[in-house]
Chain A
């Protein structure tokens, strides 16, 4: 039983082991090629394992899979519980991270410190996959820390840059506060529920009955749930960069190396989104006992307001940015706003739209950052005016940049159009037409900012010669794969919604399957 689904438990610990082993090699190997191959091999293994886990969850077991570490049954031991949502996020993370890894090989040529870069990059992926695979609320805290420590380190990779140091200090200070706030939320949960296992909490918040090993509830679960929901939502809105917890993002993302900006914008903020979904739909939910369900309902309403505020504020600020990476960073806040508003509708359609937009934004934003990184590298500046006309010399890169913008803006047949269409439908069918208006208005603001970017990159006359600039296949390969993904995700929209998103939302709106998977393991291991 325990080793039947070993790949579930293997993925994050294996990545951590590979990451922490890497510095040992620096004692004997100095060649960059070795570390490039080492990191890419690890990222490929992570992708294969994630795809296999997805296959297990969607086609073999057709339900959540529990991996009990050390053979201890939940809630006694720590477990990984991978359901359709976890598998979906796992695959998204590992695909984008592998492409970012390939791009990093080009980006780090001639740079020093690549061994530490790869150590932290692998640590970042281990943290992200750990967050989405874990079935234990405390282990989620641990994996958020693994992810955050790697992210702080990567933001200050250019440690001689004042900008990077300032951004890193701000990010880490508030990040540490946010994880501490989440830890306090766990204290309340444990004090009332007597457990930190997600399935166990989900069961008790719906029935208040006895669960194997942890027994009955030991405190006031209503009050504890209310406080823990408030605290955890505050912490997760920080991780997801939702207004007003978004301030760190426009500083941190531009200061980081470009591939890391892509990972932070495309994936790391999505871990915050994942945690919000897990808390609002699995651990708690609209089907929990009164008044917990009332608190969930109210939190969703507040998140809709914050999501829409994020979209409007960030899109308005995009227009006045002069730094390309900062402009793209604000666009991330806007899209996360759409996603959070969609998932907070509490409907299956809203969830489907939010999850669809999550992957489309992850791919589109990674492509946008990576393409912009090539242009910034060629021009030697992040200022839109100083980058004038460089796109004329890097036509393929400019093409991928334009396609990523068109997808994020929502032009058919690219993927972003279909997720925005679904979001639009979800807002209208929930009777909240104002949200659809905000979606359109903020997209229009963003379009003005993107026109400014394209004008600077391509249409404005070059102010200097870029004759030595040439396209290279090392970075073009991930850019073209990401572009192909945007097209495929778009033209397969109906299939993708039916085959991938519907099973996820069906599981999320009926968390009893998640609880039953844990109970089944308890019966086998606990006697």
Chain B
């Protein structure tokens, strides 16, 4: 059996196992869950104003790593390179343009 066929066979088996686990879970899980989850008691205040804060915001999911560990990295990558300003892009695009021209000249000069 070649590698790709073996992979298809194995992954189909994985899929079947996954489906069995999912079906079992759906059969034994507790009834009564709702789409919006269970509402906490907030001293009689309207829950709608606070719903967004029940779970962490999507954009804050990696706050720790992005703001602490990789802060410098993202400062350069996002705030200095990807500024959205056309002139800033042209410098980098021009760099690749001149590199391509220069290396072509060098190769032809050496080889020709």
Contacts and interface: CB of A to CB of B under 8 A. Distances in A.
Binding between chains A and B = yes
Nearest to A462: B36
A299 B93 CA distance: 16
Contacts of A491: 8
A518 interface: no
Contacts of B101: 227, 230-231
Contacts of A69: none
A331 to B, nearest CB: 15
A39 B66 CA distance: 45
Given A245-B96, A302-B100, A223 B66 contact: no
Contacts, number: 141
B58 A291 contact: no
Contacts of A494: 2, 4-5, 8
**A contact residues, range:** 35 or more
Interface class of chain B by DSSP: helix
A220 B99 CA distance: 21
Nearest to B90: A174
Interface in A430-464: 448, 451-453, 455-456, 459-463
B112 A223 contact: yes
A213 B72 CA distance: 61
A170 B5 CA distance: 47
A460 B103 contact: no
B58 A244 contact: no
B19 interface: no
Contacts of A299: 100, 104
B27 interface: no
Interface in B45-75: 51-52, 54-55, 57-59, 61-62, 66, 73-74
B77 A291 contact: no
Interface of A: 170, 173-174, 181, 222-223, 226-227, 229-231, 233-234, 237-238, 244-245, 247-248, 250-251, 290-291, 294-295, 298-299, 302, 306, 313, 316-317, 319-320, 322, 383-385, 388-389, 392-393, 412-413, 417-418, 421, 448, 451-453, 455-456, 459-463, 490-491, 493-494, 497
Given A244-B89, A497-B4, 11 more contacts: A173-B86, A222-B112, A223-B112, A226-B104, A227-B105, A230-B101, A295-B107, A298-B104, A384-B59, A462-B35, A493-B8
Interface of B: 2, 4-5, 7-8, 10-12, 14-15, 35-37, 51-52, 54-55, 57-59, 61-62, 66, 73-74, 77-78, 82, 84, 86, 89, 92-93, 95-97, 99-101, 103-105, 107-108, 110-112
28 contacts: A223-B108, A230-B103, A238-B93, A244-B89, A244-B92, A244-B93, A250-B82, A251-B84, A294-B111, A298-B103, A306-B96, A317-B77, A320-B62, A320-B66, A384-B58, A384-B59, A385-B58, A393-B35, A412-B11, A413-B8, A418-B7, A421-B4, A460-B57, A462-B51, A463-B51, A463-B52, A493-B4, A497-B4
